[in-house]
Chains A and B, each alone.
Chain A
C-alpha cells in the first residue's frame, strides 16, 4: 500500500506527446523513478523515457500455449487409447496425426486466454478506483487528447514545492496535486 497521508503525486498536463516525452526523459535524468505517463494512445517513446522495456506478456502466452498443447495431446491420447477405445475402420487407436487439429486449437485457446487475462492481471486491472481519477482534468483528457506525467509522492526525491517547480519548467498546461 502506498502511504495514505499527503498526496498521491503531482500531475502535469501536456498538449503534445513530444512535450510529455521530453519532460519524462528529464524527470528520469533528474533521478525520479516513481512516475508514470498517461496517454490516449500507446506512446512508445514515453515507455523508453520511463526505461520500461520488458513485459512478461509473451511469457504468459508461451506458457499458456504449452499448457494447451499438453492438455490437448494428453486428453485425446487418454480418451482414444485408454478411456474409450473404439476400433473404427481399423484406424490405429493412437492416431496422432488426427489429434493434431484439436491439439492445435487447444494450444491457441489456452495461449490466447492466458495472454489476454495475463495482460489484464499484470496491469493490475480491474481497478475501478485510482487516485488519478480525483484529478479534475485527468478524466476529460487522458482518454481523449491530453498527455499526462505523474510524479508520485512515494519517490524519495519527491518534494511538493521542488517537484512542482521542476515540472513547471516544461511549460505544462497545468500541474495539479492528486489526492489519494
Chain B
C-alpha cells in the first residue's frame, strides 16, 4: 500500500528516505532486540499497576454478564425488550456487531498474508486474539436468545431419543455451522501461529511454572527447518481456508436477514455490504486496541505510524463500500416501486426512530469518510483513537437500524409496536465490553501479542549472502 503525496521535509528516522513512507519497523532492530522487547512484556516479574487496575475494572464490568445471564436463565427472555413485532432486539444487534468486529482479525491474519502485506505481521497476533474474544462475546447472544441456552446443543445434528433433526433449509441452521466453524478455525489458526513464540517464551522463562506451561503449550518446538517448512505450508493453507470462511460467515449472517421476506432486509446487496461493514468496524476496533497498547508497552517501534496509516486506509475503503450500500438501499427502495420498501425507508429516516438513522449516517459516513482522506489525520494517533470509537458506535447503530426499523412497523399497521431495550439488555451488552477487555488484558500479559518469528523475518539481517558472509557484512549492507 503505497502512500501518495509529498514527502515530508522534516527528517524523521521513522520515514524511509527512499519512499517517503513510514517504516514498518524502526531501524536498528536485531533478532535479539525484537525477541527481548516482545518476550519481555510477558516474562517480566513486575506486572504494571495500570494493568492490574484495568483488569479489575474490566472484570467488574464483566460481572454484568454474569448477573444478566443468571437472571435471564431464571426468568426467561421476557426480561429483555423483545416483543412482537420487534422480536429481534439487542441480542441480534450485538451478535452481528461483535462478530463483525472479529472479522478484521481474520482479514489481517489471512487475507493480508495471502496478499504478502508484510506490514501486517506486527498487528496480526493481537488482531487474531481480538477475533476470538469478539466471537466469544458474539456467540453468547444467539445462544441466550434461543430462550433455553442449556438446550443449545439441540441445534447440532446428533442422534437423539426425540428423533428430531435440524432443518437445513433455514439460514438460522446455517449460522450454527458458520459461527462454530469460524470460532474453531480462528482458535486453531491463532494457536498454530503462536507455537514458535511459545517456544521462545519457554526458552527465556526463568520461573519454573512459566517454563512448564509454555513448554507444554509450545509442544516442544525447536525451530527445525523441516518443521518450519511444514509450518509455513500449514499457515498459508489455513490463511487460504480462512479467507473464504470470513467472507462466508458474515454472508451467512446477512442471509438471516436477506432470506426473510421483510422490507429493508430482502435485498441482494446484504452479503457484500455486511462483509464490508464487518471489516470496517473490525479495523476500528484494532485501532481502539492497538493505539493504547503501543503507547502503554512502548511498541511504537513495531506498531508504527505506517500500520495506523494503512489501517485507516482500509477503513476508508471499506467505509466507502458501506456508504455505497446505504446509497443503494435508498435507491432500491425508490426504484423497486414497492410500497412497503418505500415506506420502510421513509420510516427509517423520518419515523419515530429516525434519529438512529441520522446518528448512523453521521458516525459511519459523514465523519470518517470526509476526514480519512487526509494523510495528516491518518497519522494523527489521537484523532484515530477517537475516530475508532465513532465508527464502532456507527456500526452498532447500523445493526440497530436494520433490526429495529424493519421489525417494529411491519406490513400490518394494527400490529405496529415499538422497541425499547430494558436494563437487562444494557447490562448484558455493557458486560460483554468488560468481558472482551478482560480477556484481551489477560492475553496481553500472558501471551506474545506480537509474533516474534514473523517480525524477525522482516529484519534486514535475514538477507542470505552466498558463500556465508558474517554478521557485520550483512548488517553493514542492510544499512
Chain A contact residues, CB within 8 Å of chain B: 15-23, 36-47, 50, 52, 55, 57-58, 61, 75-76, 79-80, 83-84, 86, 88, 91, 95, 98-99, 101-102, 104-106, 108-109, 111-113, 115-116, 118-120, 122-123, 125-130, 132-133, 138-140, 142-145, 170-171
Distance of A175 from chain B, by nearest CB (Å): 15
Chain B contact residues, CB within 8 Å of chain A: 30-32, 35, 157, 163-169, 173-174, 177-178, 181, 184-185, 188-189, 192, 196, 199-200, 202-204, 215-216, 219-234, 237-238, 241-242, 244-245, 248, 252, 255, 452-454, 456-457, 461-471, 474
29 contacts between A and B (CB under 8 A): A17-B462, A18-B467, A18-B470, A22-B468, A36-B224, A36-B226, A40-B200, A40-B456, A42-B457, A45-B464, A47-B225, A47-B228, A84-B163, A84-B164, A84-B165, A88-B169, A91-B169, A105-B181, A105-B245, A106-B181, A108-B181, A116-B234, A119-B231, A127-B219, A140-B203, A142-B222, A144-B31, A144-B32, A145-B32
Supposing A18-B465, A79-B168, A123-B230 touch, asked if A143 and B181 sit within 8 A by C-beta, the answer is no
Supposing A15-B471, A47-B226, A57-B233 touch, asked if A105 and B31 sit within 8 A by C-beta, the answer is no
Q: Do A108 and B245 have beta carbons less than 8 Å apart?
A: yes
Chain A CB within 10 Å, residue with most, of B178, B230, B463: B230
Among candidates A44, A105, A127, A128, residue contacting B248 with C-beta atoms closer than 8 Å: A105
Distance of A44 from chain B, by nearest CB (Å): 7
Chain B contacts for A101, CB-based, 8 A: 174, 177-178, 248, 252, 255
Chain A CB within 10 Å, residue with most, of B31, B157, B200, B466: B31
Chain A contacts for B457, CB-based, 8 A: 41-42
Secondary structure of the B side of the interface? helix
Secondary structure of the A side of the interface? helix
Query: Sorted from nearest, which 5 A-B pairs have the closest CB atoms?
Result: A22-B468, A145-B31, A119-B234, A126-B219, A42-B228
Q: A40 to B467, alpha carbons, bound, how many Å?
A: 21
Q: Do A36 and B225 have beta carbons less than 8 Å apart?
A: yes
Q: A143 to B195, alpha carbons, bound, how many Å?
A: 11
Supposing A40-B223, A42-B457 touch, asked if A111 and B200 sit within 8 A by C-beta, the answer is no
Chain A contacts for B220, CB-based, 8 A: 125-130
Among candidates B30, B238, B471, residue contacting A112 with C-beta atoms closer than 8 Å: B238
Q: A162 to B447, alpha carbons, bound, how many Å?
A: 44
Chain A contacts for B465, CB-based, 8 A: 18
